[in-house]
Structure formats: C-alpha cells, structure tokens
Structure 1
Amino acid sequence: MNGFKGELLAGNCLNQVDAGSAFPSVSLHVLFYTREITQPVDFQTGLCGNKMILPHDAAGKNAIPYGSDTGLPNGVTFRQKVKFDLADVAKWLPVVTAPYGIPAYTVTYTGPRFTMPSTYIRLTKRDQVNDPFLAAGNVYWQDATDTTWGNDWLGNLMPGGWCYSNRHVAEPMMADSFFEDSLSDVNRSNTGIHEDFTPFCEALPVYNEAGGLEGTFDGLAWIAFWNLGAAKNPVKPPDDMVYIGPPPVPKLDPKRQILVLEVWIYLAKNSSGKFLKSPRVAALRYWTYTRIIGGITTPWDPYLFFGAGASVGGSVAVPIKFPLLQNSNNPEQLTEQVAYLSLSNLKFFIGA
C-alpha cells in the first residue's frame, strides 16, 4: 500500500435520525379476524364452515387511515359485461350463527368465507430512475376521503423517492382497474405458504350475458405500494394527527419523512379465457412518519416494523353490485343483488 496514508476523520455519531430507507425487499402481511360479539352484527369475516378467525397480535400499528375507495355509497359496479347466478351471490348475504352453540352469543358472517386468515406479499424496491414504473403519471392515489383532513394534502414522492410493490407484478401502476392490466396474472404458485393470493372456500361462478360460464372469482389478490410521501403545501400543512402529547395538536412538520401505504384489492379471476379479468373493488391508503416521541419509536428502530389498520371499527365492508342472470334461481327477476365483501379487523404489517 505504498503511497497511501490513512486519515482519522473527526465526526459524531448521529442518534435518533428521523429518516430511513429499507432493505431491497420487505414483507407485507395482510391479516383479518372475526370480532367476537354477543348480538348479530353484519360484516364479519369467517373461515370455511363459518368458523371464527382468532384474533392476532395488533402490535406495531402506527399508521392511520388517509383515504379509501370501497364503492360507497352506491357499491362497486363491474366494468365488464358479466352476470351472476342469484343462488351463488346469496351465499355472500348475512348468515347468523352461534359459534359456541349458545344462542346469546352469535356472529353474523357476510361475504365469502376464506381458507386462511392471512396473506404474505413480498414487496421489492423499484429503481425508478433506471426501471421506472409504467403509467406512474396517470395513477389516481386515494385522496382524503376521511372528513378529518378536509383537504387532500398528502402527495407521493415519485420518482424522486423510493417505492416498493409486489415482486410478482410487472407493472403494478397500470392495474387501477384490473389486475391483469399490470402485465401479470395473479400468482397462485405459493398459496401453500399464503403468498399473494387469498382463496375463497367456495369460488363464485361468473357468466357472460348469454349465460355461458366464463370462469370464477376464487379469491382475493392484492397490489400494494409502500413509498415516501410529502405535504403538497408545506407552507400550510395539516394538523399532526399522529402526534401524541398534550394539546394543542401541532401542525405537521413538513420536514419529517412521511411513509405511505396504499393497497388495492381485487376479485381474482380463475379462467383460461381472455375475456374475464380480475376487477379492483377497493383501495385503502395510510400514512405515518418516522418519529421518536413519547416512547413511540420510528419504524426503523430497532428494526423495520410498520403497521396500518382499517377505518373506524377496524373493518372494511365493500358493497358490490352483482348483475343477475334471469333464470329459475331468480324467480322475482331481479336485475342485481348487492352483497358485501367483508374483511373485519383488516390490518397490514410490513417487516424485513
């Protein structure tokens, strides 16, 4: 090493840095469970055979809802010309059961039942400079539909910041209407380890307008975006709703590193034909920031852990308008039936 001389540079270690950038890939876990109740209440999620999904550990919830699109108030409508049999759709309507065999303790299940209570999705960091997302400039990110905010103040830092999305999805930002528009099909290859796909206990048949069977919706698929955000107007930021401390609630510090999670939910189609696609039926958006306040630690310390819960009550109920076949199972000749996709106590957790 002749000709080279080492130098000891003066410096100070940084403590409680409020910024971070995670690993090349992270894990997103989707969880839901059945709330135990003593009176019939709609919008509870269950396993096959109307079995309860046991509660899970809710530790690490530190992000809060920002906006959602679940088809309210009129319900989700299908963009493809499809039909459904009323006898099949009726299985999604509310069913009251007593899981403990005691009539006073009942649960009202709504929507499809699931074969498993959780789904694992690997998110990878996309190089937005050398491998930019297609259609990034055309994405409609969920705005502040919660009246708490009063205005749509939250922006996404793209392409300037990092962004993670599903590793098995080629172009996720193109899938604002249908999953297959992402240039990928729903990944069912690792369902045994609960990856990417959340199966229904019973698939829902889908027909064309002539009554021919086109395939089924046999579960849920998910596309997630985890990225950096910012206040659109740093001069007039919103109230800091993450703040925990004595009043008054301060304004959000626009210099904080804001973290944003948006999740798109799809009815996953199972069909060999090219007509049927997997429609997006809901979108949820959450935010938080890196912080160490009052004992609450940043998601980067001591290791990456980010959690987000659903809206009020911790549940998501998506009303869907199912256009109906005119057959013997539909004696009143109804043109449509509204049924709910229920995801009670829906939560998302991100870890290394």
Structure 2
Amino acid sequence: MTVSQDPLLTLRDVQVKFPVRNDWLGRPQGFAHALNGIDLQVRPGETLGIVGESGCGKSTLAQLLMGLVAPSAGDVRWVYSSARERHANVQIVFQDPQSSLDPRLPIWKIITEPLFSLGGTPRNQMRGIAAKVAEQVGIRAEYLDRFPHQFSGGQRQRIAIARALASNPSILVLDEPTSALDISVQAQILNLLAELQRRLGLTYILISHNVSVVRHMADRVAVMYLGQIVELGCAKQVLELPRHPYTRLLLDAVPRLGVPLDDEYISAPTELPGNRVLPSGCFFLERCPRRAEGCEQPQRLAGSVHQQVRCHLEHP
C-alpha cells in the first residue's frame, strides 16, 4: 500500500540503446533499442509491477535501476543524495537463486556481501547481522556456515532475499523472483515478501512475465512493449479492465476458468518485432487487431492518474 505520494524515483523519457555492430574503426553502425522513452515514478511503500513478454525491456529496466547500465538519453532522478546512499537503499533479488549465490562462500558471508561492498560495518559485527537477517526470512542461525548447494531452491531464494535486506534498503527490485521455483514454493516466497513489506515498509519493483504473480502482489502495474510503457495504472484497473490492445493480448495468453478467450486477440500475430529499426508510429501496429487510421502516428501515454494508455483510439 502506498504510504506517500512523493516519488523515490522518477524516470523521464529514458532511453537505452546498445551498439550491435561496429565498423573497422570501432564506430557503432547499428543499435539495439532496449528502452524507448520510459516515463515512470516509484512511490514509497508501493509494489509496482512491470509486465511484458520476453524482449520487451524488463531486464534492461532492472539493470538501469541498479546502475548496471546508463541511460542513453533522458533523466533518472532518485530521492537519495549520493551514489552510496542509493546503493545502500536499492537492492535486487535475482531470478535464479542458484546462479546468483557464490558457491564458494558460506551463507553468512553471502548475506553480508552488500555490507562488505559498501564498507563502514566492522567485520566482527557481520556474522551477527547475518544471523538477524537470516531469521527474518526463515533461515535458522545454525545454518549460517553451510554452503548454497546444501539448500533447496526455496531456501536459496530466502538467502538471496536476506542478502538484499542486509544493507537495510528502502527499495527491492524483484527480477522474476519466483520463476525458477516450484508452484508451492512460489507461494511461500510471495507470502514472505508480502510479510517483509508490511513489517519493514519496503517498496517493491516487481518485474515479471507472470501476470498471476503481479495480480497477487502489485498496487500499480506498468505494461511494457518493445521498450515502451503502453499501459500504466492501478493493478485492478489494468488487469481487469485493460484498455491497450497489447495488454488484452497479454492477459488472454493466460487461460482462466470461466472466462472465454477473445478470438480477435488470439488470431493476432504473436511475434515481437525486432528492436534494431523501430516503427515510426505505434509500436504495436503490426500486431494490433484494432489498428485504424491514425495508428501510423507516434503515440503518447495519456489518461487519468488511475490508468494511462498509449493508444490514440482511447484518446480521440
């Protein structure tokens, strides 16, 4: 639940592109356009869900938020005054807990990796901090000297969450945090994240292709397509009354009992266009079953505070 309207993070017309080929002098001759004009705010205490199919730019957005890639254009503004403060307050939980944990380290050292990186914490206090954080996520103190391979997948993800909590952050970027887990374990991890948010007042940026997970966790939802946000608003509005054709296509890809499928959207082309050469008008034009005159023009995200959509048919 949102506890304040003052944003922790504001993105304005953010673009990220990567060179894909160079000439013989090393000069870029082509680019992959990963993010193409992202406008977004993240507010304290909320869970913001980011959904979209593979290749839509979700992972690049996560890397941008963590400072792993720099914007090619646009403005990224944090409420934090220094890079160190931002690094302490923004942590990430990765998709695959097995590959994200160093197999050579006991888990108490894994949990305190952010503190080693930030500095300023006495080494003789590290183990005590690890024990306290491990207890918060349901890992017993006597397991602190064990190694990652001695834990199940769900336990490893709990360890990854503990590592993210060690620096006492305000924001967790959750990059597909349950997709590598069994269904029953997914529910346990989601319940743990919800409890931690209530107890610690955390802000979540939940990146997922699983609409059901986002429906369960998110207060607001941003739907991404080809590096753009095509729909943004309250989770209930966006997921139950979608207005952008792509959101409808995304939701219809998840069969639900008692809800008939929309033949118009099922028969629409399903392949995501390449991001080397971007469309000149609406990015979804080639796949849209509702395309009409005016769709060949660039579209903007517009609407009310409860629901914004990038479609001129919704804003005649």
Q: TM > 0.5 between the two? A: no
Higher helix share: 2
Higher strand share: 1
TM-score bracket for this pair, using the shorter chain length: under 0.3
TM-score (norm 2): 0.20
Whose Rg is larger? 1
TM-score (norm 1): 0.18
